[in-house]
Amino acid sequence: MPFKSQKQRRWMFKFKPKMAKKWAKETPKGKKLPKKKSKANEAKQTLIDIIKEELKAYIREQRDGK
């Protein structure tokens, strides 16, 4: 699982260094992590994910002729 924020990364290396090394390998190189993940960003991303899924379903329905 890749890191989602710098704060998560710092905490993980301090308390769970073995797991942190594994996660560091899974985090894309050069990815700019936010200082900390805010609830607003999390809610926004959830909404974006829901909209994407609804759009995919709509496109499938239109393509299948329903």
Give the pLDDT confidence of 6-47 residue by residue, as tens digits.
888 899 999 999 999 998 888 877 777 777 676 777 777 788
Q: How many residues does the chain have?
A: 66
**Contact between 40 and 9 (Cβ < 8 Å):** no
Q: Which two tokens stand for residue 24?
A: 């560091």
* pLDDT attached to residue 66: 60
Three-class SS of 26-61: HCCCCCCCCCCCCHHHHHHHHHHHHHHHHHHHHHHH
Within 8 A by CB and 6+ apart from 4, the residues are 33, 34, 37
